[in-house]
């Protein structure tokens, strides 16, 4: 069934949904969670696979063709490959991708590829074991790298992207090792500016290592050439001038791309967020579980999306950090 396109009040056509399948995570990354973790949702509060499929189907009928599954850490959700297979069969879902910390990829990569996952983003914030432990609070780098190698053996899983959150005072020493990693392996490394979504609320503008600064560090050793940027793309991608690999920069703080934003987010308990930094959410779980028709849920979605924020206002006076951390929103 085709429905009218989903459009916000600023004329932006929504084509991408990030679906958190769980708030649980097996890491405790500094930019995301406190060392002691967070209280988890009760299991009956989390959307079922069937509820997620229903919402994704409705959104796909409204032209939301790109679906990214996130967490927490999505691979800790029991029977997660079954959900991937379920969503891959939804008419209109053209791009089904997963963001993961990679810890369970060695176990699950084959099942996820066979289930229909088309693209993977793997979060790796350091390539030295002790520094990886410092940031994630887990001694897991060898296992993550093994999982990445298992995934890379499947041609249909490419392109594989490796995401590193860039934090001043930490990431500078990782920049050139990551550049070499991108030149030596079939992965596109992408640096993501540190955003104010940490549970400790330690973020400051000064803690952001900008994409421009990182690019300058790389270009001092490896010349880069820009690639065309697709509309609504989050990353500015460069290729190494000698043709050996690609590298990307996601700069939501220093170069906001809100004007092209075509994304919405669904939290694990079924709350619709129209911006990563939204202060308000729309409950979709209640109508789902109270017998609302598709048409009624569609109206709720359209009303919420019509009010989508023009921009995130991170760099403006009076900015208020959301109460939710990245792990509770869905990366």
DSSP string, 166-194: EBTTTGGGGHHHHHHHHHHSSEEEEEEE-
Least confident piece of the model among 48-57, 105-114, 169-178, 195-204 = 195-204
Q: What is the pLDDT of residues 303-313, one digit of tens each?
A: 999 999 887 77
For the domain covering 16-326, report its CATH number: 3.20.20.70
CA atoms within 13 A on the CB side of 74: 30
pLDDT of 38 reads 78
Domain assignments of the chain as residue spans, ordered by start: 16-326
CB 93 within 8 A of CB 87: yes
pLDDT of 203 reads 78
Dihedral in degrees, nearest 10, Cα atoms 31, 32, 33, 34: 20
The rounded mean pLDDT for the chain is 93
pLDDT of 314 reads 76
CA distance 12 to 158: 29
Does residue 283 carry a pLDDT above 80?
yes
- Average pLDDT for residues 201-218, to the nearest whole number? 91
Structure tokens at 226: 């820009």
Q: What is the pLDDT of residues 78-100, one digit of tens each?
A: 999 999 999 999 999 999 999 99
pLDDT of 331 reads 66
- Average pLDDT for residues 225-233, to the nearest whole number? 86
pLDDT of 293 reads 98
Does residue 198 carry a pLDDT above 70?
no
- Average pLDDT for residues 276-288, to the nearest whole number? 93
């Amino acid at each position: 069934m085709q429905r009218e396109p989903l459009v916000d009040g600023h004329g932006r056509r929504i084509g991408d949904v990030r679906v958190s399948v769980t708030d649980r995570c097996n890491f405790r990354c500094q930019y995301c969670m406190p060392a002691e973790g967070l209280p988890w949702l009760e299991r009956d509060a989390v959307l079922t696979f069937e509820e997620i499929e229903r919402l994704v189907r409705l959104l796909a009928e409204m032209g939301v063709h790109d679906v990214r599954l996130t967490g927490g850490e999505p691979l800790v959700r029991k029977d997660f490959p079954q959900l991937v297979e379920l969503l891959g069969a939804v008419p209109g879902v053209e791009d089904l991708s997963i963001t993961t910390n990679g810890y369970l990829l060695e176990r699950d990569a084959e099942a996820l590829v066979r289930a229909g996952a088309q693209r993977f983003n793997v979060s790796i914030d350091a390539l030295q074991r002790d520094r990886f432990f410092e940031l994630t609070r887990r001694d897991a780098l060898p296992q993550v790298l093994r999982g990445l190698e298992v995934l890379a053996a499947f041609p249909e899983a490419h392109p594989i992207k490796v995401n590193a959150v860039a934090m001043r005072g930490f990431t500078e020493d990782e920049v050139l090792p990551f550049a070499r990693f991108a030149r030596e392996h079939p992965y596109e490394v992408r640096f993501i500016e540190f955003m104010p979504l940490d549970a400790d609320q330690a973020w400051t503008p000064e803690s952001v290592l900008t994409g421009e600064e990182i690019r300058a560090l790389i270009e001092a050793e490896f010349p880069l050439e820009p690639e065309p940027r697709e509309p609504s793309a989050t990353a500015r991608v460069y290729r190494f001038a000698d043709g050996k690999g690609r590298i990307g920069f996601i700069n939501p703080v220093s170069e906001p791309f809100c004007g092209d934003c075509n994304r919405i987010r669904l939290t694990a308990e079924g709350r619709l967020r129209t911006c990563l930094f939204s202060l308000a959410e729309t409950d979709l779980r209640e109508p789902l579980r109270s017998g609302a028709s598709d048409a009624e849920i569609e109206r709720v979605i359209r009303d919420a999306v019509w009010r989508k924020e023009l921009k995130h206002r991170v760099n403006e006076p009076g900015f208020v950090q959301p109460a939710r951390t990245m792990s509770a929103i869905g990366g």
